Amino acid sequence: MLIRVSLARQSLSLFDDAGRLLRRYPVSTAANGAGEEAGSYQTPRGRHIIRAKIGAGSPLYTVFSGRRPTGERWSPELDAAQPGRDWILTRILWLSGCESGFNRSGNVDTMRRYIYIHGCSESAPLGQPGSHGCIRMHNRDIAELFELTPVYTTVEIDAD
């Protein structure tokens, strides 16, 4: 399996081991564009792996904070009561960089930056940049991707 994220197209593509396209999903990456530095609120580029999968079996719209379910379920009412909250919902695929000095170790470490592929609120637009660095997906899409991809799946994030 291979996941390829296109920052330009705001899409995530899943390929099988033979290179055949299995799925393509709309996503939202960082509003601040591409970049690897901690605190930049940018989406890191390059080769990564899924280091951890979090949320197996959780209902759609489960709210996570610090990678743990909060006991909340996202709803339009909860969203309205907490405007501006950066919702991390349904499932988390926690990424780890594979390129030392570029997206791994030091001030550019993707995993220490807590960069995830995760579900988002229904009000968050996909197909355009808008996240704080993570890769946001529709909740049904992240639940499907979560089931299709094992830990250590390669994730390539490209500017094109």
Q: Which domain holds residue 129?
A: 2-158
Q: How many percent of the chain have pLDDT more than 70?
A: 100
**Whole-structure pTM value:** 0.97
- Dist. CA 75–CA 77, nearest whole Å: 5
Q: How far is CA 56 from CA 12, 53, 68, 143, 156, in A?
A: 20, 7, 12, 9, 23
- Dist. CA 105–CA 46, nearest whole Å: 14
**Rounded to 5°, angle at Cα 127 from 124 and 135:** 70
When divided into structural domains, the chain yields a total of 1
Instruction: Kindly report, residue by residue over 86-112, the tens digit of the pLDDT.
Output: 999 999 999 999 999 999 999 999 999
Instruction: Kindly report, residue by residue over 117-139, the tens digit of the pLDDT.
Output: 999 999 999 999 999 999 999 99
Residue 84 pLDDT level (bands cut at 50, 70, 90): confident
75-91 mean pLDDT: 95
Neighbours of 84 (CB within 10 A): 5
CATH number, residue 106:
2.40.440.10
What is the structure's pLDDT at 140? 98
What are the backbone angles phi and psi of residue 145, rounded to the nearest 5°?
Answer: -60, -40
Q: How high is the mean pLDDT of the chain?
A: 97
Beta strands in 77-149 (DSSP E): 89-97, 116-119, 135-137
- Dist. CA 95–CA 44, nearest whole Å: 10
Q: Does residue 160 surpass a pLDDT of 90?
A: no
- Dist. CA 47–CA 99, nearest whole Å: 7
Q: How many percent of the chain have pLDDT more than 90?
A: 98
Contact criterion met (CB below 8 Å) for 36 and 44: yes
For 23, residues 6+ apart whose C-beta sits below 8 A from its C-beta are: 13, 14, 144, 145, 148
Q: Is 27 exposed, middle or buried (0-12, 13-18, 19+ CB in 10 A)?
A: buried
For tokens 């993707």, what's the residue?
A: 110
